[in-house]
A and B are shown apart, each in its own frame.
Chain A
């Protein structure tokens, strides 16, 4: 998700109480796996969009999935090797 400024090892702040909207970065549970994606629409259909254009959008219709929470902030380490 480097396109939206999220890098490997970053710490995400997630708010479960927010209503997920198109354009939100969300944590989704897709087929039992927690994943971070951008919520988008293509036409009128909901899609999960990876910021890397190499990954194809995942259509949400007919998938066992649920928004887990909305990512509101990201904490990114500026000193390599340091984690929270």
Chain B
């Protein structure tokens, strides 16, 4: 069986752990850069604030009732790692899919025990980290994803929903589920499926896979098998809901060699950069993480992640790698046997900015060299004459950078100076 564990309103939940006042209030978290709402509490959803809505477009009357916060990447990244740590105590197979979602494999576990096991796990995540999660269980990732959705929406599941691929209940549910609600089926494919007479998940499940492969792609064929309960999609097949891009691998053998980590992080970051450019996105932050094999209790364990905001949205691999390396440098601890490392590009936005887009095109060596020279000169000026002596581009009106962090909460879990303060 496969479980999809999804943190409920993750960013907002992180904020609520350390500021219980936010409980029950309409809370939104804004993207670092453009002031769009990127995370919403249930209450703010009820007020009609849509995902990705620019904060300034929210009706002033509604806005006055809302608490809008700047993103606190350091907090979310660290809390995400804590959640993963707890999940890893329940199965050795945890695949982090995004900052707030992980696929867990429970191969070899007695299926009868899984609902209870997942309830225990869910309560432990809540107790140890303060983050509420929902769990969807099934035999394929696609069905687990659907089950997860049900776990969130239907309160009788108590946060853990299991979907047997061949039960009547599953059939009834899939028969009323529009194909657009299926993981990996985008709006455009949905329209094309419609022309083939396929509108519900059940219709897609009983469609001829080969036929769909001809009309669409191998991924659509696999989705059909997945809906039948066969696990055949790898995480790499699925283009993310495009909020994050994650690339990570386990090492073939444990390593304490810093050069290995350097190389791995650099390769992962390049790969992530490629994916980013392919979907024409720009990243606004990057997370680097390293960890040991927690099942080797004979060895010291260590797990650390760091989220670094990028100074401006970028898809430039050099910049991404440079940032990732700086991150690795500060979390690397010598003498530790590492099992896995990876990077996640976060808070992606569309590459709508021509100026930055130009830099991203495959440029000539001459131009690239000039860019690098420019960067070096810039860095030197800023180093010698103080921060922000020279800046890229024209600073936005009202000095938006400073403004953008104005509503950021303390980095409660990663900075000594910003620990939560309690009264007695």
Contacts and interface: CB of A to CB of B under 8 A. Distances in A.
Contact of A34 (B124, B127, B128, B422): B422
B128 A66 contact: no
Interface residues of B, number: 16
A33 B424 contact: no
A16 B125 CA distance: 10
Contact of B130 (A16, A32, A37, A51): A16
A36 interface: yes
Contact of A16 (B20, B129, B416): B129
20 contacts: A1-B424, A6-B424, A11-B419, A16-B127, A17-B124, A17-B128, A27-B422, A29-B20, A32-B21, A32-B23, A33-B423, A34-B421, A34-B423, A35-B422, A35-B423, A35-B424, A36-B423, A36-B424, A37-B424, A84-B416
Given A29-B20, A84-B416, A17 B422 contact: no
B191 interface: no
Interface of A: 1, 6, 11-12, 16-17, 27, 29, 32-37, 50-51, 66, 68, 84
Secondary structure of the A side of the interface?
A: strand
Nearest to A19: B127
B420 interface: yes
Contacts of A16: 127-130
A26 to B, nearest CB: 10
Contacts of B423: 33-36
Interface of B: 18, 20-21, 23, 124, 127-130, 416, 419-424
B20 A34 contact: yes
Contacts of A68: 20, 130
Nearest 10 A/B pairs, CB to CB: A32-B21, A29-B20, A1-B424, A34-B422, A36-B422, A35-B423, A36-B424, A32-B20, A17-B128, A84-B416
A73 to B, nearest CB: 14
Contacts of B21: 32-33
B420 A34 contact: yes
A37 B422 CA distance: 10
Contacts of B420: 34
Contacts of B20: 29, 32-34, 66, 68
Contact of B422 (A12, A50, A51): A12
Contacts of A12: 422
A35 B423 CA distance: 5
B113 to A, nearest CB: 22
A61 B420 CA distance: 26
